[in-house]
Amino acid sequence: MNTKLLRVGLLLLALTLLAVFAYREYAAQEERAHLLTGTVEATRIDVSTKVSGYIEELFLQEGMTVRAGDAAARIGRRDLDAAVLRDEAALAHAETSLQRTQSGNRAEEIRAAAERTNAARAAAEKADADYARGAELIAGGAISQQAFDGLREARDTANANLRAAQQEQALMESGSRPEDIRMAEEDVRRQQAILEIDTSAVSDLTVRVPKDGIVLSKNYERGEFVRAGTPIATLIDPQDVWVKVYVTTDVLGDLRITAHAGAGAYICGEETALLDSLEGRRGHPRLKPPFPAVQGLYARPTVINNVETIASLPGILVHGPEWYSSMGTERSKGHGIFSVTGHVARPGQFEAPFGITMRELIELAGGIRAGHELKFWVPGGSSTPIFGPEELDVPLDYESVGAAGSMLGTRALQVFDETVSAVRVVARWTEFYQHESCGKCTPCREGTYWMRQIMARLEAGRGLPGDVEKLEDIASNISGRSFCALGDASAVPVLSGIKRFRSEFEAGCTTPASQLFPYAASAIVESAR
């Protein structure tokens, strides 16, 4: 009996020890799982389109291996093909008109011009009648929408030819005055510029893979509309893959710090777009309210701070809140980081109390580069109204800068001397905002696109009559009507630039910016000259 009890006791002891060891191993594994987490990451490559349109063909599939130069998609833009044909016809008319104007107007040429006008009028009348008949037929369902669109295009082309013929006849009858020849030459140059723009757009209809890689995801499908500059797919570079491991410590207790690598999207600087990005969706701003503090990441209350706010904490913890409040102004207390870039001797980051002036910051940065003088500057980055030399002594706090007509914003102070073209600077800013527009709302998506086109013309000296006024109108319709502040940011430099330097913008209708302000003269780095 005693032997049997001893055996049972030893068995129970062994089972107990086994259970203890198993639990300790399980707990250790749980602890390791709790302390050690990681992610596999790789360099991401965006495949983007240069023009807007419908995706006619999409050749990429997730997991596919592609090479640089492979066709990724084909953008459908039949309107561009038709536009090129119309541009070529208009250019031919302009060149013929110029030749006849230069050679003088003989009686037989005037008669020939009148005959061409009559023929063009007959063709236009027939096209108008066909279009009117087509409108009746499509209302009754007798013809297709495609056929009706063809009738509309034929009508527009015929009427354009009639106007060109009438202008040509009027020019022939009026004689070859010097101003007539000059206007004919300008018309040829204008038509050449339009044809060049449309031809360049047509050449970009095939989207190609920029680098070797593997297709990670598709952002669009065939038949969807895509905006210029928008990634239609994302690749990863199989040669550049790494693992990030995150370890918590006993000091932090249950606190976990996880770093997420962003794709560099400017729109994700907007707090709700950042939340969408963290949740795995495309970075689009959310409607507020609800605000992140109420419903943020994964619909939970979320506090969002920027790096500068967190960087201010050590000084406050060491010296106390009274020390921090002793700096700055009455309403803008404390200090901040002022980023001074551009045409200064020593650009850099300067930590200074609020209320410091731009004149003092420029002195800290070594002054305007030798041999030059200040032309304009921006106090809070490209999204804030432009300041000139007369605002150098405005205290850099939120209230004073606002009262002076601008915004302190991010305190990214950009300095430009007299060698810089305001048109060129605004054109670069406009390109940036058009590229970074998420496309969610129409005013920003469409407005930035058209502002970029007009700014490109003005910078190249190919601006059209009324372009400056059109820019003001487009920017005014973006401001205050976009879903988030990016739309407002894109409109501000355009309106402010025209207000301060209207003559430079108007000069863009005749003279390239590079001619008025040679770009090499404004280069900061010697190798860029």
Does 311 reside within a domain?
no
Q: What are the distances in angstroms from CA 90 to CA 84, 86, 191, 493, 515?
A: 10, 6, 7, 35, 28
pLDDT for 288 beyond 70? yes
Which of 417, 451, 481 finishes a domain?
417
Regarding whether 435 and 402 lie in a shared domain, the answer is no
Tokens found for residue 14: 């062994």
Average pLDDT value for residue range 63-92: 77
- The conformational region for residue 479 under phi > 0 = left, psi -120 to 50 = alpha, else beta, is beta
The helix or strand, by DSSP H or E, that contains position 118, with its residue range, turns out to be: helix 107-139
Same domain (yes/no): 348, 464: no
pLDDT of 195 higher than 80 = no
Pick from 184-198, 208-222, 458-472: least confident:
184-198
Residue 226 CA to residue 51 CA, distance in Å, equals: 8
Return the CATH number at 332: 3.10.20.600
Residue 360 has a pLDDT of 95
Q: How confident is the model at residue 404 (pLDDT cuts 50, 70, 90)?
A: very high
Helices (H), 437-484: 442-459, 467-478
Is residue 450 within 8 Å of 227, Cβ to Cβ?
A: no
- Of 227-236, 428-437, 452-461, 503-512, the one with minimum mean pLDDT is 227-236
**Residue labelled with tokens 């701003």:** 285
Report the pLDDT value the prediction gives residue 299, as an integer from 0 to 100. Answer: 86
Backbone φ, ψ for residue 91 (5° rounding): -65, -40
pLDDT (average), residues 32-44: 57
pLDDT of residue 24: 55
226: helix, coil or strand?
A: strand
Q: Is residue 224 part of a domain?
A: no
For residue 353, the surrounding DSSP H or E stretch is strand 348-353
Indicate whether 59 belongs to any domain: no
User: 393 and 325 in one domain?
Assistant: yes
DSSP state of 334: S
| C-alpha span between 324 and 63 (Å, rounded) | 54
Same domain membership, residue 158 and residue 87: yes
Closest CA to 220 of 41, 53, 444: 53
Rounded Cα gap, residues 67 and 419, in angstroms? 43
Q: Is residue 108 part of a domain?
A: yes
Domain end (from 402, 417, 432): 417
Give me the torsion for CA of 446, 468, 473, 411, rounded to 10°. Answer: 80
Mean pLDDT of the chain: 82
Res. 526 pLDDT band, cuts 50 70 90: low
Which DSSP string corresponds to 395-416? B-SHHHHHHTTS--TT-EEEEE
419 within 8 A of 522, measured Cβ to Cβ: yes
Amino acid at 448: T
In this prediction, residues 436-457 reach a mean pLDDT of 91
Kindly state whether residue 303 falls inside one of the protein's structural domains.
no
97 and 181 share one domain? yes
Contacting residues for 492 by C-beta, under 8 A, at least 6 apart = 383, 384, 385, 479
pLDDT (0 to 100) of residue 307: 82
Model confidence at 528, pLDDT cuts 50, 70, 90, reads very low
Sign for the CA dihedral angle at 326, 328, 330, 332 comes to negative
Residue with tokens 């970029």: 452
User: For 405, left (φ over 0), alpha (ψ -120 to 50), or beta?
Assistant: left
The answer to whether position 472 is within a domain reads: yes
**Tokens of residue 71, six digits:** 């066709």
Q: End of a domain among 394, 417, 440?
A: 417
Q: Which long-range contacts (CB under 8 A, 24 or more apart) does 307-312 make?
A: 308/336, 308/337, 311/337
Higher per-residue pLDDT: 491 or 172: 491
- What single-letter amino acid sits at 344? V
Residues 390 and 349 in one domain: yes
Structure tokens that stand for 364 in this block: 């800290």
Give CA–CA dist 283/126, Å, rounded. 52
Tell whether 330 and 429 lie within a shared domain. no
pLDDT tens-digit readout, 326-385: 998 888 999 989 999 999 999 999 999 999 999 999 999 999 998 999 999 999 888 899
Kindly state whether residue 395 falls inside one of the protein's structural domains: yes
Residue 107 sits in the same domain as residue 134? yes
Provide the pLDDT for residue 253: 56
* Of the candidates 169, 172, 165, the residue with the CA atom closest to the CA atom of residue 122: 165
R_g of the chain computed on alpha carbons: 33
What is the rounded CA–CA span in Å between residue 353 and residue 122?
76
| Strands annotated E in 136-285 | 206-208, 213-218, 225-226, 231-247
What is the band of 298 on the pLDDT scale with cuts at 50, 70, 90? Answer: confident
Rounded to whole angstroms, the Cα distance separating 190 from 182 reads: 12
Residues 412 and 428 placed together within one structural domain of the fold: no
Residue 88 is given by DSSP the state H
Do 368 and 442 meet the contact criterion of CB atoms below 8 Å apart?
no
Range with the lowest mean pLDDT among 310-324, 339-353, 411-425? 310-324
pTM of the predicted protein model: 0.52
- Contact in structure between 304 and 322 (CB atoms under 8 Å): no
% of the chain beyond a pLDDT of 70: 81
Specify the number of domains making up the chain: 3
194 and 91 in a single domain? The answer is: yes
Task: Give yes or no for residue 36 having a pLDDT over 60.
Answer: no
Tell whether 28 is covered by a domain.
no
The pLDDT tens digits for 459-512 are 999 999 999 999 999 999 998 888 888 888 999 999 999 999 999 999 999 999
Where does the pLDDT of residue 527 fall: very low under 50, low under 70, confident under 90, or very high at 90 and above? very low
Asked which of 32-46, 138-152, 424-438 is least confident by mean pLDDT, the reply is 32-46
Task: Give the range of the structural domain holding residue 499, as residue numbers without chain letter.
Answer: 422-528
**Mean predicted confidence (pLDDT) in 141-148:** 81
Phi, psi at 524, each rounded to 5°: -90, -45
